[in-house]
Amino acid sequence: MVTKNIKNFQARSSRLVFIRASLVSALLVSPWVSAPLIAKTFDQPADSVQWRTSELTGYSLALQKCTTCHSAHYAEYQPPSAGAAYWKAQVLRMKNVFKAPLSDEEAQTVVEYLSQNYGSARK
């Protein structure tokens, strides 16, 4: 009789240990498993720096293409002495490395806009 009670107790104890372990692991793992499933939204702050207006076609392209990844701050903080070669290298880097959605013709048009409005050709 005593042996039977001990075996019942052991069986119940092992079930409780398993249930506790399952609950603890579920609580510990749950945030990491469910976190990617929760949609997150945030509001971006308004841009304090705007692209410099221009009659050049590159202005509208900069608004359409460049602003998808960064604000006008990026252009503002480049060296004002930068020539067209510098801007061409920057635009090609955006196009080739970061996959900016620019054709070769659009890239050249943006280079002209940037060099004339932010670089050494600035009026």
Greater confidence, 61 or 9?
Answer: 61
At residue 48, the pLDDT reads: 80
At residue 122, the pLDDT reads: 85
CB 51 within 8 A of CB 59: yes
**Spelled out in words, what is the top-level CATH class assigned to the domain 57-117?**
mainly alpha
pLDDT one-digit tens code per residue, 22-69: 666 666 665 555 556 666 776 767 778 899 999 999 999 999 999 888
pLDDT one-digit tens code per residue, 77-100: 999 999 999 999 999 999 999 999
Torsion-angle region of 99 (φ positive above 0: left; ψ -120 to 50: alpha; else: beta): left
User: pTM for this one?
Assistant: 0.62
What letter represents residue 6's amino acid?
I
- What are the residue boundaries of the structural domains of the chain, listed by start? 2-37, 57-117
